Amino acid sequence: MPSLRHVTLLLILPLCGCNTVRSARQAQSETDRLEGEATISAAAAGLTPEGTQTLEQLERLARRYHPSVLQARQSVASARHQCRITGSSRLPQITASGGYSRSTQNTWGRETRSEARGSWSGGLGLDLLLYDFGKLDAQERQALQALIAAEEQLRETEITVTYNVRSAFFERHRAENLFLVALQSERQYAEHLEEARVMVEVGTRRQYDATKAEVDWGNARLEAVTASNSLTVAHAQLNRALGIAENPAYAIDTALLPATSKSLAELMAAARENTPSLAVLRARERAASAYVDQTIADLYPDLSLSADADLSGRGFPLVWNFSWAVRAAQTLFTGYRKTARIDDAVAQLRIARARVADAEQTLHLELVTALAQRESAHKRSEIARLVQKQASENRDIVNEQYRVGLSSSIERTDAQVALTRAQSDLIRAYYDEQAAHARIAHLTGAAVGPDTPPPAPSTPLKAD
């Protein structure tokens, strides 16, 4: 007979799910939202016009509130629950039943009656898997690898969100500096127009010079408007990378990502070890291998133990009975379905391995491209600084020559256009190099979060 301890356990088991159900009902309510389940307001995120946000602060903000991070975290939680669900097959499955029925007791050859008699019944059943030739082991390994893949996918999501913030951050700075160049160029052309009008009035220049200066000023104003719109879009892209559905005005600090001195081979080795996207594919490869074991184990029978205790009778005390059995179930022929599943599992394993190899090759190409872009941007930046200096000196010379009548308005415009182009090229090259640094860090799976050293400040680019 079952002991008092066992009976108490059976009575408590149905109550264990009450807290889980309560939590599930709470999650269904509109008020129970985790960070990332709803779009946070800019004010709640601390994005105000009074503050200046650093790159590190914006990265932490995105990793906290971006919806993709919450999705990845919940995928990890789901994978962890699947591990528990799979492992529960090792525990005994206990069922309880009870009922009351009423029925007539008429039989052939006797007088029929409408009187019904009641009967009580109750039962307790137990099923326990004893041995399955490694099938459950393989399923648990698959669930474990799925959990590992989900954890690595979470890390990949955090790194990607950080990379998107960095890209949008530098794009915002690029757009702002190009806007400043456009504004300075507009002011310069406005000064040209004023000088040309004065010279026309005193008779030292023709009306053509004033008209051309006015056209140049109009084009410069259009460029400033275009640059302003680009700045607005870049700011909105930064807010989207943060997980914000508003476009609040706030200042951002300057930042400089440290350049790595590692060679391509060293970066590739670090990527193979740290990149979470590769870790995800390797976990799926191991899961595919475990699935091969599962399909092979399906060829063999399952050995299980079952026991039942019943109470029944038309009145009390009820009569009890107990039975138990050991079962072995084996399907003898399935139309070659099981062997076909094994072949399919092997094919899936080979596909998983090929995906790892393909990802490594793609990663190598992307690293080569990022390094080449970094070097190209660095060289362009060096040359652009020299060109900007030369263009600035040439602009000053041409302006002086124009004032004394030694150069034409066309030469003056060409000199200003050359300076504006050189300033813009320098800004683009500078932020292209920063974008390449961010891309390399992303490809190599660089750590993000509190352990990441804060980016060193840099001198902001200024229009000459």
- In tens, the pLDDT along 305-351 reads 898 888 887 777 888 888 888 888 787 777 888 899 999 999 999 99
- pLDDT tens sequence across 406-425: 888 888 888 889 999 999 99
Helix, strand, coil percentages in the chain from 3-state DSSP, rounded to 5: 65, 10, 25
E strands in 254-330: 302-313, 319-329
Residue 230 CB-density burial (10 A; 0-12 exposed, 13-18 middle, 19+ buried):
middle
Q: Can you read off the two tokens belonging to residue 154?
A: 């979470």
Q: Residue 398's Cα: distance from chain center in Å?
A: 53
Report, as an integer, the average pLDDT of 379-405. 90
The mean of the pLDDT values for the chain is: 87
Residue 427, Cα to own-chain centre: how many angstroms?
30
- The confidence score (pLDDT) of residue 31 equals 80
Could you check whether the bond before residue 317 is cis, i.e. omega within 30 degrees of 0?
A: yes
Window from 221-225, 350-354, 414-418 with minimum mean pLDDT: 414-418
Which residue in the block uniquely carries the two structure tokens 């140049």? 216
By C-alpha distance, which of 280, 294, 333, 3 is closest to 145?
280
Considering the four listed CATH numbers 3.40.1160.10, 1.10.10.10, 1.20.1600.10, 1.20.1250.20, the one that applies to the domain covering 53-100+118-443 is 1.20.1600.10
Q: Does the reported pTM lie above 0.75?
A: yes
Pair of tokens at residue 422: 């050189």
In the numeric block, which tokens belong to residue 74? 């919940």
271/281 Cα distance (integer angstroms): 14
The stretches of 66-134 forming alpha helices (DSSP H) are 67-87
What is the pLDDT at residue 5?
Answer: 52
CB 413 within 8 A of CB 212: yes
Q: What is the pLDDT of residue 432?
A: 94
Q: Are 314 and 117 in contact, with CB atoms under 8 Å apart?
A: yes
CA 27 remoteness from chain centre: 23
Query: At CA 331, angle to CA 327 and CA 333, rounded to 5?
Result: 160
In this structure, which amino acid lies at residue 33? R
